[in-house]
């Protein structure tokens, strides 16, 4: 089992748990907590983190893994 997990929330963010780092394009590490939500809708005012805007804009995405 992996040390970290990324859950794709229906109509919401990626929820990351476990041991991880969030690093920007220049290699700088963001300060994070044990669990972090990353924006998928593209409208957060706190990117790369989710600020809940997906609820206000009716973001619609519920992908499923193809385990065939």
pLDDT value of position 18: 94
pLDDT value of position 37: 98
Running DSSP on this structure, what letter comes out for residue 48? T
pLDDT tens, 11-26?
999 999 999 999 999 9
The Cα-based distances of 67 to 4, 6, 64 in angstroms read 20, 17, 9
pLDDT value of position 68: 82
Contacts of 2 (CB under 8 A, 6+ apart): 18
Residue 40 and residue 53 in contact, taking contact as beta carbons nearer than 8 Å = no
Predicted model pTM: 0.88
Name the band, by pLDDT with cuts 50, 70 and 90, for residue 1.
low
Residue entry with tokens 């919401």: 12
Mean pLDDT along residues 30-53: 97
């Amino acid at each position: 089992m992996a040390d970290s997990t990324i859950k794709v929330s229906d109509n919401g963010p990626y929820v990351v748990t476990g041991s991880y780092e969030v690093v920007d394009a220049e290699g700088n590490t963001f300060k994070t907590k044990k669990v972090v939500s990353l924006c998928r809708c593209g409208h957060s005012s706190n990117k790369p983190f989710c600020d809940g805007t997906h609820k206000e804009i009716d973001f619609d995405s519920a992908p499923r893994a193809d385990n065939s």
